[in-house]
A and B are shown apart, each in its own frame.
Chain A
Amino acid sequence: MLEYAPAPSPEEIREVVAPLAELEGPLLPMLHAIQEVWGHVPQAAVPVLADLLNLGRAEVHGVISFYHDFRDHPAGRRVLKICRAEACQAVGGAAVAQSVLDRLGLDWHGTTPDGALTVEPVYCLGLCACGPAAMLDGRVIGRVDADRIEAELKTGDVEARA
């Protein structure tokens, strides 16, 4: 849905971030707010933020590109994150992740051709005593295997993101 929406105008972006201008260190909260609304941080946001916060455009771009969370284009309708960290590896997480990626025909950060799903690595969900762990649209799942993830993907395909 979101990816077909027209690019937001500078005014729309300003409207979303302006209430946050009084915060100490407002840039990250602003970027989160933008991504919450548009599913990614559109290019058009850079000059708006630079102007509002009296920063150079390069500085704003530098911040956006530093953090793994901020996307420059929308993700799939659903986002699956699979933990790659050590505790999940200790219980076979790497094999589970590889199997899921193979079944979907994706690599890390890849999106299915129909735009339904993006798969991303995550380094620890704090579910280290019930790994391998995954997160589907903000919902945590423990002790997963590839079948369990496949089953989860089939259910609630159009559920709102948490």
Chain B
Amino acid sequence: MKIWVPLDSAAKALGADQVADAIAREAAARGLDVQIIRNGTRGMVWLEPLVEIDAGQGRVAFGPVTPADVPALLDGSLPCHGPVENIPFFGRQTRLTFARCGLIDPLDLDDYAAHGGLVGLRRAIGMSQVEIVQEVADSGLRGRGGAGFPTGIKWRTVSDAVADQKYIVCNADEGDSGTFADRMIMEGDPFTLIEGMAIAGLGVGATRGYVYMRSEYPDAIRVMEAAVVIARRRGVLGADVLGSGRAFDMQIRTGAGAYVCGEETSLLNSLEGKRGTVRAKPPLPALEGFLGKPTVVNNVISLATVPVIFEKGAQHYADFGLGRSRGTVTLQIAGNVRQGGLFETAFGMSLGEVVNDIGGGTLSGRPVKAVQVGGPLGAYMPVSKFDTPMGYEEFDQKGGLIGHAGLVVFDDSADMLQMARFAMEFCAVESCGKCTPCRIGAVRGVETIDRIAAGDPGAAALLTDLCETMKDGSLCALGGFTPYPVMSALTQFPDDFATHKEAAE
């Protein structure tokens, strides 16, 4: 009998390790022949720890399971969900990037290969640099880290650059609240990221890669480091990638708790061992990146999606989506929501459908007040904008941004003035200090919002003006996008700002 118990951080945070221990103890006591496999998560966090058992008739899912449930679990008397595909949240998804996550043992390269792994890399090995880059361009893949820049164009710039050394840098500094897709794929299917980086290396002529990870993700770091060692030992990485005669190797690096290092130029400085301050662009990192060399800087999900594009073909991937947003989006449904987790689907579903239909509304059962989409720098979307389709341009038109596709749901108890204040406070704590609008503006922003709360009638206009300055004058998205949550809170939820004013008067 095979039993899968996720090793994903979210599952562990909800007791997966204790459940795995209990299963091992109980099975031993009963003399059962049980193989416990620690898989990634299927992404349904509200059902974690989600245990799957295959007693010969295929995998069936149970969850959430507690250690106390284990005797019943092994008796077969615990209520089950059937195969995970029968759970609507899972069954409705189109899993391309996350196809293997939760299915396989994350550190079993043979299991990975048995489920389509390395097919893409083998195909890429038979292609020229130009063909590889064209395949990515044809897929329509855009940067999943938030900016949505076409990945193929970035790769082409690096590929065309002439240099003695080029680099692939994976931005795994997933600091945005409400996002956990990077963490989940790195913990649940690390080889797909490694394969994607190797394909990128072949595509642009880079022989070295780095994954810049967050120190806040110790579990993901352990899995990635172990996966790199295995990949190197098995010849996926090294001087002769899968016998191609071409070299690509990579290292895992850990940041040190600076949110701004998720910004690509700041990340590059940090990787070089400097303060994580933002660099002015140009020069683009594609031409002068890590150590001044041409560098592809891509988000985890962008790179982890590359293998499936090469496995199934660019057209297969591009056939999903809406408008200029091609392929799938890995929605992360979080915050005050009944059914939170990772939901991969073609672009185009409406925000309201995601929150109410997929997410099942709020956890508290109270009405939804706002959804912050795209992390701490994303706008608060009111319920009146729930018809907005999930797409880069569609969100832009509604004054928001999709970002890394994290959605944080708030119920009607949320105080939007406090959320606006927090956005400014966060910007002040995390500002790298290089540019004035961000460094000083964020501090003044907190003060100005406090003045609004105290009833100062002129403060709202001042805040609006300050946000304009930050937006136009900041070097990077931290100072430049903090106005999104602040101004969306101010304009979409004026009552939260007015109440304070009236109370003071």
Contacts and interface: CB of A to CB of B under 8 A. Distances in A.
B326 interface: no
A68 B257 contact: yes
Interface stretch (B112-120, B154-162, B335-343, B465-473): B335-343
Interface string A13-38: 00000000001111111011000000
Contacts of B255: 28, 67, 69
B274 A63 contact: yes
B438 interface: no
Contact of A91 (B253, B254, B363): B363
A85 B363 contact: no
Interface stretch (B169-177, B280-288, B301-309): B169-177
B218 A162 contact: yes
B414 A128 contact: no
B498 interface: no
Contacts of B180: 126-129
B448 interface: no
Interface stretch (B7-15, B69-77, B237-245, B476-484): B7-15
Contact of B177 (A23, A67, A128): A128
A125 B335 contact: no
Interface footprint category on B: 35 or more
Contact of B257 (A69, A86, A90, A139): A69
Nearest to A140: B13
B215 A128 contact: no
B230 interface: no
Interface stretch (B78-86, B265-273, B344-352): B265-273
B333 interface: yes
Given A68-B258, A128-B179, A141-B13, A90 B414 contact: yes
B133 to A, nearest CB: 25
Interface string A131-162: 10101001111110000000000000000001
Contacts of B419: 86, 89
A113 interface: no
B430 interface: yes
A129 B334 contact: yes
Given A25-B272, A28-B254, A128 B340 contact: yes
Interface stretch (B143-151, B403-411, B452-460): B403-411
A142 B333 CA distance: 16
Nearest to A83: B177
A23 to B, nearest CB: 8
Given A62-B275, A90-B408, A125-B216, 19 more contacts: A24-B272, A28-B273, A32-B256, A63-B274, A66-B258, A85-B178, A86-B422, A89-B422, A90-B414, A123-B429, A124-B179, A126-B10, A126-B179, A126-B180, A128-B178, A128-B335, A128-B408, A130-B13, A130-B340
27 contacts: A24-B290, A24-B291, A27-B274, A28-B256, A28-B271, A63-B273, A66-B275, A67-B255, A67-B258, A68-B256, A68-B257, A81-B216, A85-B177, A87-B408, A123-B426, A124-B175, A124-B177, A126-B174, A126-B182, A126-B183, A126-B217, A127-B9, A128-B178, A128-B340, A129-B10, A131-B335, A140-B10
Q: 5 tightest CB-CB pairs across the interface, nearest first?
A: A129-B340, A27-B273, A142-B13, A85-B177, A128-B334
